[in-house]
Amino acid sequence: MPSAAALDVGQLLWVGFPSPALPDRLAARLAAGEVGATILFKRNLAFEVIASAGPNGVTQEVADLDALVALNRALHRSAPDGTPALIAVDQEGGLVQRVRAPATQWPPMRSHDGLAAPEDERTAEQVGKAIGDELRALGFDIDFAPVLDVHTNPANPIIGDRAFGTDADVAARRALAFARGLDAAGVLACGKHFPGHGDTSTDSHLELPRIDHAWDRLEKVELLPFARAAQAKLPMIMTAHVVFAALDATKPATLSHAVVTGLLRDKLGYQGVIVSDDLDMNAIASHMGADVAAVEAIRAGCDALLLCRDEAHQAAAEAALLREVEKDTSFRARVGEAAARIRAMKRAHADNQRARPAPERTIIGSFEHRRLADRLAGRA
C-alpha cells in the first residue's frame, strides 16, 4: 500500500485524459490512490451523428450516454485507504457545457437578466437542480459551476455571458441559488474564479491577465459574490490565474499566499476546498513548469490542483509534491491539511448522495427541463 504521504498527495491531483477510453495508466493510478478526481471534457465523450428525415434534413452530433455512464462507473474507484475518486465536469450552460444533446441544452446564465427579482433567483435554483439531476443520472459528482465573476468589462474574452450578471449583488444572488440547486441534486458546486475574472481583457487560457483596481473597488464588486459564497459554505471555490495588483503585484492569485490564504481563508473566512484553475493553462504553463506551479499553489493555500490535459505535467507535479513532502515538514503538514479537507468534503458528499438517490436517466433532456431552458432563454 502507498505511504500516507503519497495517498495525501494523490488526493490533491485532479486530472484529465485525452479520449473516451480510460487509459490503463490512469486506471492504475486511480487504483493506487494517486488521483483524487478526474475531469471530463467533450473529448472524453463518444458521439454518433444523427440525420433527421426529409430532403432538408440536418445532422446532429449526439453523445453516447451509455458509453459515458460506463466510463464514469470505471472512474469511480477508491484509493487503498477507501477514499473514493470523484468525477467533475464544466456544465455551466451556454458555450460551456460539455455534455450536450441528448442532454438539455441550457442558455448562458446571463439569460437570467430577462427575469425580474425574485423570479430570477427561483429560476436559477431550478436550473441548478435540473442540471444537477442530469449530471447525477450520468454519474458525475462535481459541476465546476457557478461562475461568481461579475461581468463588468464588455471586452472580456472569457467570461461574458457566462456570468450571472453585471451587478455584484445580482450575480451573487443568482449564482448561489444555482449552487443550492446543485446541492439539492446531490452534486458538488464549485464557485469560480476567485478573486474575480469579470473585468479582465485577456484570456488566462492564453496569457496572464492583470487587474489594477484599488481595494475599495475589489471589495464592492469582484469580491462580494465570493464573500457571500464563503458565508453560504459553498463546498469549493476555484482560483483565477489573474494578477490583482492591490493584493499581490507579482503573483497570479492561484500562486499567491496573500490572496488564497490571507484573503480567502483568513479575511473572508472560507472553510471549504480551494481548487486551482488548470495548471496547464498558458497563464501558468508559459511562465513556469507544472512542478514549480504545483508546489507554489499548495504553499499558497490551494487544496486541489487541476491538471486537465498533459500527462507529463501530471507526473511532474506529483513528483515535485512528493519531493517537497520528503524534505519540508511544514509543506508535509500543508499537504496533509489539504488532503484532510478534500476527504471531509468527499464524506459529506457521500452522505448527501445517500439522502438524495440519483434520478432515472429519463430525466436527461426531459420535457420539463427543456421547457425550463426555453423559459430562461425567453422562448416560452
- Residues marked active site are found at 205, 277
DSSP per residue, 279-330: TTSHHHHTTS-HHHHHHHHHHHT--BEEE-S-HHHHHHHHHHHHHHHHH-HH
Distance separating alpha carbons of residues 335 and 158, to the nearest angstrom: 31
Residue 102's DSSP bridge partners are: none
- Say if residue 353 is exposed, middle or buried (CB neighbours under 10 Å; 0-12, 13-18, 19+): middle
Q: How far apart are CA 238 and CA 258, in angstroms?
A: 16
Residue tagged 467533450 (cell numbers): 42
For 215, the 3-state DSSP assignment is: helix
Strands (E), 160-310: 188-194, 210-211, 236-239, 243-244, 273-275, 305-307
Q: Is 269 left (phi over 0), alpha (psi -120 to 50) or beta?
A: left
> Which residues pair with residue 86 across a beta bridge?
37
Kindly report the CA angle at 35 between 31 and 37, in degrees rounded to 5?
Answer: 110
Look-up: residue for cell 490564504?
261
Amino acid, res. 240: A
* CB distance 222 to 177 below 8 Å: no
Element (H, E) at 96: strand 96-97
Contacts of residue 123, defined as CB under 8 A and 6 or more positions apart, other chains included, come to 112, 115, 372, 375, 376
What separation in angstroms does the CA of 91 have from each of 28, 55, 148, 191, 201?
27, 34, 14, 12, 24
Would you state the cell numbers that stand for residue 280, as one nine-digit string?
496547464
Task: Categorise residue 233: left if φ over 0, alpha if ψ from -120 to 50, beta otherwise.
Answer: left
